[in-house]
Each structure stands twice: as structure tokens, then as C-alpha cells.
């Protein structure tokens, strides 16, 4: 037996002012789109904004449903819409944040496992790493590939 280790690398910032202009704008768009979230059950509003290889920005929010788990996370709403509207474009970066009681969470709110798997397959489809910006009002973390969020993803897609 050989024991191996997983190392997850990320950059951490203390607020938007430390981010690049492009990342800050994407995160601001994610914060803005939380206002359209439909979250009457959890009051946990999530916004996601992604930048495509053609320069388009797609933003979406979570949509809950009383018939849980019929709702959809913001990340998957944005990704599925992007792949539908721009099927040949890859995702360059994706920003995600959460708001509770009209206040952005101070620390990063990480994507759920289902969203991570969808991101992993989107990354594989696009043929390039997707940068993930996970934003809180005080702490922002950036990973340079979905592999850092889901290092052992199911990725046995036919070629």
C-alpha cells in the first residue's frame, strides 16, 4: 500500500479591494443577483456569476421549492443556462456568494457536492480549468481549478 496526500491550494483575500478588477466585478454581480433568489424556506440566498470564454457574463440565483429537493442551486442554474445559450463556450471563472438576512456572509460559502460535480464536468467539457471565486464580505478564497474543490471527481466521460 502506498499512502498519498491531497493538497488543496487557494488564494485568500481580505475583501474585494484585493481582487483583480475582473474578479471583483464578477463577485459583485454574484452578490447583486442574490436579490432574485427564491428562498422562502431557508432564507439562504445564493448568487453565482460566471465568465465565459466569449466574454459573456451569466448570473443566476438559487430557486427553492416546497417539494424539496426540486429546487436548484445558483451555480447549476448559471452553468446549465450558459451551456444552453452558448454551447461551444467554456467557463473561464465562476464567482459564488451567499446572503442571509440581507447581509452577505462574512466567510466563503462553498458550493455543494452536486454543484462541484457539475463544475467538474463543465471544466472537462471546456478543456480548461475554471477559476472559482468563493466570496464572503470579509474573506474571499480563489481556487484555480475545480480540482481543488473536488479532487476525486467522477470524470469518466466518453471521448
Q: Is 132 helix (H, G, I), strand (E, B) or coil?
A: strand
User: What DSSP letter does each residue of 99-124 carry, written as one string?
Assistant: EETTEE-SS--PPPHHHHHHHHHHHH
Q: Catalytic one among 12, 18, 64, 75?
A: 75
DSSP 157: -
User: What DSSP letter does each residue of 19-75 carry, written as one string?
Assistant: S-HHHHHHHHHHHHHGGG-B-TTT-EEEEEEEEETTS-EEEEE-B--SSTT-SB-HH
Residue 127 to residue 85: CA distance in whole angstroms: 18
* Residue whose grid cell is 493538497: 7
Active site residue 75: yes
Which residues have a Cβ under 8 Å from the Cβ of 114 and sit 6 or more positions away? 73, 76
Residues assigned a catalytic role: 75
Amino acid at each position: 500500500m502506498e499512502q498519498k496526500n491531497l493538497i488543496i491550494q487557494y488564494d485568500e483575500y481580505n475583501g474585494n479591494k484585493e481582487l483583480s478588477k475582473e474578479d471583483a466585478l464578477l463577485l459583485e454581480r454574484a452578490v447583486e443577483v442574490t436579490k432574485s433568489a427564491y428562498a422562502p424556506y431557508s432564507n439562504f440566498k445564493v448568487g453565482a456569476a460566471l465568465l465565459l470564454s466569449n466574454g459573456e457574463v451569466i448570473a443566476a440565483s438559487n430557486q427553492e421549492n416546497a417539494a424539496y429537493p426540486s429546487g436548484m442551486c445558483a451555480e447549476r442554474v448559471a452553468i446549465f443556462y450558459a451551456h444552453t445559450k452558448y454551447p461551444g463556450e467554456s467557463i473561464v471563472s465562476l464567482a459564488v456568494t451567499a446572503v442571509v438576512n440581507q447581509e452577505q456572509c462574512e466567510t466563503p460559502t462553498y458550493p455543494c457536492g452536486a454543484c462541484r460535480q457539475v463544475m467538474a464536468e463543465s471544466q472537462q467539457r471546456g478543456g480548461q480549468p475554471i477559476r472559482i471565486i468563493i466570496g464572503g464580505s470579509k474573506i474571499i478564497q480563489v481556487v484555480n481549478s475545480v480540482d481543488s474543490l473536488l479532487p476525486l471527481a467522477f470524470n469518466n466521460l466518453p471521448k
